[in-house]
Structure 1
Amino acid sequence: MNHIHLNLKRFDILKQYGGVNDLSHPDEWGTTIVKAVCDRLDSLKSVYPDVEFTIYFPEAHIISAASALEDEELFHLGCQSVYRADTAIDGNFGAFTSHRTANSMRQLGVRATIIGHLEERLDKKGILSQAGITDFSSVNCILREEILAAQEAGLKVLYCIGETLEERENWQEVLKTQLQLGLEQVDLENIVIAYEPVWAIGPGKTPPTSSQVEEVVSYIKTLYPTLDVIYGGGLKLDNAGSLAKIPNLDGGLIALTRFTGDIGFYPDEYVAIADLFLKER
């Protein structure tokens, strides 16, 4: 199965506050996006039925997005990570101030979550650094607890892994550690892996070649042959066609759809990227 994931990050913030939102006022942002993509995705799925779409919204927009989504099979509504503990009958009743738990998201209509995104990993590494800790392998153990909490609530998980420029020379060991620690004791049935080449993400950086991506995907599948693997470094119009030709790649993660000029997320371009990738499969 092909997987097209979309991470909306904090694209809801208006430009006057330093954001990239040019679509609508924030109180209508989730509804605007759902209405803008539903008809287009319905047309795509009629041509490419073997594809699973997932859109990860910032938490504030999940209720409006869920209310606007009339067909829950068209795409999965996702949230951006979950806390590593949750409510339980005869257990914690909800004392999770400031945390987004998997149960709280599931009851709002969320069906999937993204865990281990490079921005989440950097945040956790930063906290450990403040405590004087330099061994960041424990980040993967924390992410594993998040995955287990998500699965306990019935959520699918997109688990992101990737190496920094400093780790590039030993990328195989880095990815192996992230996978083994992050997926220990995890049910692999509803897990998809996203490879994020952190060393290649950002303005002015050189993206990996198709052969480099294929090498990494093949390596991941030697370790976990049952798992689907997508490219998480940013699926876009510039690379969707070439990445689609990698036989063992199962999809991609889209974020920004316009990288120059009036940068940001635009529904028409999102659908165009997905269409190009699926057309070349």
Structure 2
Amino acid sequence: MKYIFLNLKRFDIPKDLGGVNSIAPIEKWSEYIVKNTQEQLKKYDTNNVEFAMFFPEAHLIGANEAKSIDSPIKIGCQGVYRDDTAIGGNFGAFTTNRTANAVKAMGCEYTIIGHCEERKDKLEIMLEAGVNDTAAVNRLLNKEVKNAIASGLKVLYCIGESSDEQENWEEVLRKQLQIGLDGIDLSKVVIAYEPVWAIGPGKVPPSKEYIQKIASFVKKETNGLPVVYGGGLKADNAEMLSSIPEIDGGLIALTRFSGEIGFYPDEYLEIINIYTGC
């Protein structure tokens, strides 16, 4: 089984407000993306490949409403809170927090948890209190994963090492897996490996051999969970990534990195064509 994930981050913001959206008015943005990809994705066998798109919360309902009955797209959200509503319990005291039950009610089937940007945010909050504890970050993420699965969502769980952690990558990734997935139904989880040290303008991406080494390690640590490349599945690395047996797919974000920077549905489909070879 192959997994193609799409993380749309805040690509909905118009360019005149500092964003990268030039494809559709913001109120029609998610509808535009779904409607301009789902028919073309139907040529793939959903027994062999799964497509999930992670939208900002404001666009989840529109994305779900744009799906056709036989759409191959699974709609996902960008993270969930570490606590949730419960019958006979807390019915909604979660101001500013997106709970798993809330997005499940909106039609989500997936969520992404532990993305390097989320890990960075949690660690920065702790640093403001004078605490530098990556294990605590993993414990918080574990609660999020548990709540997501309890609500019926599948989880793309992200792991990765920063430049400061690269020398001890094995220990760092092992802790992220062991703590973050402790007590979890692993049949509901896909792992995304993010080489945090290599993400960003001017950074040198990891080699095929490095990615293969990490993916092999993760599969060994998790008894064979699917592993996708989270450092960015792109047109220029799709063929290389598809040649790594231990890699089961990828996470796409921007599709154009120069000129009219942004996400474009036709380029997303082309990346998938290159990766799958059809």
Q: State the TM-score bracket (shorter-chain normalisation).
A: over 0.9
Q: In the alignment, which residue of structure 2 is the partner of 1:29?
A: 29
Paired with 1:65 and 1:73, the residues of 2 have a C-alpha distance of 11
Query: What letter matches 2:244 in structure 1?
Result: I
TM-score (norm 2): 0.98
With over 3 angstroms needed to count, the CA separation of the structure-2 counterparts of 1:94 and 1:72, relative to structure 1, is: farther
Paired with 2:239 and 2:134, the residues of 1 have a C-alpha distance of 35
Q: In the alignment, which residue of structure 1 is the partner of 2:5?
A: 5
For 1:55-94, what aligned pairs fall within 5 Å after superposition?
Answer: 55-71=53-69, 74-94=72-92
Paired with 2:169 and 2:17, the residues of 1 have a C-alpha distance of 37
Q: In the alignment, which residue of structure 1 is the partner of 2:260?
A: 262
Q: In the alignment, which residue of structure 1 is the partner of 2:133?
A: 135
Structure 2 gap ranges (5+): none
Query: What letter matches 1:26 in structure 2?
Result: I
Task: List, as ranges, runs of 4+ consecutive aligned residues in structure 1 with deviation greater than 6 Å.
Answer: none
For 1:1-281, what aligned pairs fall within 5 Å after superposition?
Answer: 1-43=1-43, 45-46=44-45, 49-71=47-69, 74-279=72-277
Query: What letter matches 2:227 in structure 1?
Result: V
CA contact (8 A) 2:38 2:71 kept: no
| Structure 1 residues 109-133: Cα deviation after superposition (integer angstroms, max 9, x where no partner) | 1000000001101100110000000
Q: State the 1:73 CA deviation.
A: 5.0
CA contact (8 A) 1:128 1:136 kept: no
CA contact (8 A) 2:123 2:133 kept: no
CA contact (8 A) 1:235 1:253 kept: yes
Q: State the 1:95 CA deviation.
A: 1.1
Backbone CA RMSD of aligned residues? 1.1
Structure 1 gap ranges (5+): none
| Structure 1 residues 84-103: Cα deviation after superposition (integer angstroms, max 9, x where no partner) | 11100000011111110000
Q: State the 1:135 CA deviation.
A: 2.0
Percent identity among equivalent residues? 53
Query: What letter matches 2:129 in structure 1?
Result: A
| Structure 1 residues 223-255: Cα deviation after superposition (integer angstroms, max 9, x where no partner) | 112310000000000100001000111000000
Number of corresponding residues: 278
TM-score (norm 1): 0.97
